[in-house]
A and B are shown apart, each in its own frame.
Chain A
Amino acid sequence: MGCSSSLPDRNSGRLGGLNAENGGAPDAKNLRVKLVLLGDSGVGKSCIVLRFVRGQFDPTSKVTVGASFLSQTIALQDSTTVKFEIWDTAGQERYAALAPLYYRGAAVAVVVYDITSPESFNKAQYWVKELQKHGSPDIVMALVGNKADLHENREVPVQDGIDYAEKNGMFFIETSAKTADNINQLFEEIAKRLPRPSSS
Chain B
Amino acid sequence: MSSDSSSSISNDGSTDQNPNPSPTAKPLDFLQERLASIALTEPNGGAESPSDQEPQAGVSNGSFIEEIQEVVQNNQAAGSEAVVEEVSESFTHGVVWRDNSEHEVDAPSSPSSSGYAGERGSSSATSESGIGEGGEDEIREVRNDDSVDGVSDLQQSWVPGKRHVDEDDASISWRKRKKHFFILSNSGKPIYSRYGDEHKLAGFSATLQAIISFVENGGDRVQLVRAGKHQVVFLVKGPIYLVCISCTEEPYESLRSQLELIYGQMLLILTKSVNRCFEKNPKFDMTPLLGGTDVVFSSLIHSFNWSLVLSGAQKASLHPDDMLLLSNFVMSSESFRTSESFSPICLPRYNPMAFLYAYVHYLDVDTYLMLLTTKSDAFYHLKDCRLRIETVLLKSNVLSEVQRSLLDGGMRVEDLPVDTSPRSGILSAHLGQHKVPTESPETSREEYIGVGGPFGLWHFIYRSIYLDQYVSSEFSPPINSSRQQKRLYRAYQKLYASMHDRGVGPPHKTQFRRDENYVLLCWVTPEFELYAAFDPLADKALAIRTCNRVCQWVKDVENEIFLLGASPFSW
Contacts and interface: CB of A to CB of B under 8 A. Distances in A.
Chain B binds chain A: yes
Interface of A: 1-3, 6-12, 14, 16-21, 41, 46, 50, 60, 62-70, 88, 90, 92-98, 100-101
A69 B41 contact: no
Given A9-B377, A69-B379, A97-B31, 11 more contacts: A6-B37, A8-B376, A9-B376, A18-B379, A62-B338, A63-B292, A65-B341, A66-B343, A93-B291, A94-B290, A95-B344
20 contacts: A1-B41, A6-B30, A8-B28, A9-B30, A11-B29, A17-B377, A18-B377, A18-B380, A41-B291, A62-B334, A63-B295, A63-B335, A65-B341, A66-B343, A66-B358, A69-B339, A69-B340, A70-B339, A88-B339, A90-B343
B496 interface: no
Query: Which one of B35, B292, B329 has the greatest number of beta carbons of chain A within 10 Å?
Result: B292
B288 interface: yes
Contacts of B288: 93
Contacts of A65: 329, 333, 335-336, 341, 343
B270 A94 contact: yes
Contacts of B341: 64-69
Contact of A98 (B31, B269, B340, B379): B31
A106 B293 CA distance: 28
A46 B28 CA distance: 26
B250 interface: no
A7 B30 contact: yes
Nearest to B332: A65
B278 interface: no
A46 B30 contact: no
B41 A2 contact: yes
Contacts of B41: 1-3
A127 to B, nearest CB: 15
A92 B291 contact: yes
A2 B291 contact: no
Interface in B316-332: 329
B29 A6 contact: yes
B38 interface: yes
B338 A68 contact: yes
Contacts of B380: 18-21
A62 B270 CA distance: 20
B201 to A, nearest CB: 21
B31 A41 contact: no
A69 B33 CA distance: 26
Nearest to A85: B380
Given A2-B41, A50-B338, A93-B38, A69 B383 contact: yes
Contacts of B329: 65
Interface pairs A-B: 4 shortest CB-CB: A66-B343, A3-B37, A97-B34, A63-B292
Contacts of B333: 62-63, 65
**Secondary structure of the B contact surface, majority rule:** helix
Interface of B: 26, 28-31, 33-38, 40-41, 269-270, 288-293, 295, 329, 333-336, 338-344, 358, 376-377, 379-380, 383
Given A65-B336, A69-B341, A94 B377 contact: no
Contacts of B36: 3
B176 to A, nearest CB: 29
B335 A6 contact: no
Contacts of A7: 30
A19 B380 CA distance: 8
Contact of B30 (A1, A10, A93, A94): A10
Contact of A96 (B28, B34, B293): B34
A63 B337 CA distance: 11
Contacts of A95: 344
Contact of B34 (A6, A9, A21): A6
A12 B290 CA distance: 27
A101 B377 contact: yes
B340 A94 contact: no
B200 to A, nearest CB: 21
Contacts of B376: 8-9, 101
Given A8-B28, A63-B333, A64-B335, A3 B343 contact: no
A98 B341 CA distance: 14
Query: Which one of B26, B270, B343 has the greatest number of beta carbons of chain A within 10 Å?
Result: B343
B379 A93 contact: no
A98 B344 contact: yes
Query: Which one of A14, A16, A70, A93 has the greatest number of beta carbons of chain B within 10 Å?
Result: A93
B222 to A, nearest CB: 30
A118 B380 CA distance: 36
A16 B334 CA distance: 29
A96 B269 CA distance: 14
B40 A2 contact: yes
A3 B338 contact: no
A81 to B, nearest CB: 21
A92 B343 CA distance: 12
A46 B34 CA distance: 24
Given A62-B335, A63-B292, A68 B31 contact: no
Nearest to B383: A69
B38 to A, nearest CB: 7
Contact of B335 (A2, A17, A18, A68): A68
A192 to B, nearest CB: 26
Contacts of A1: 41
Contacts of B33: 3, 6, 97
Contacts of B35: 97
Contacts of B28: 8
Contacts of A101: 376-377
Nearest to B274: A94
Contacts of A18: 342, 377, 379-380
A9 to B, nearest CB: 6
Contacts of B291: 41, 63, 92-94
Contacts of A98: 30-31, 344
Nearest to A8: B30
A18 B373 CA distance: 14
A90 B333 CA distance: 12
A50 B338 CA distance: 9
Query: Which one of B269, B288, B295, B344 has the greatest number of beta carbons of chain A within 10 Å?
Result: B344
B335 A94 contact: no
A21 B379 CA distance: 11
A49 to B, nearest CB: 8
A156 B74 CA distance: 57
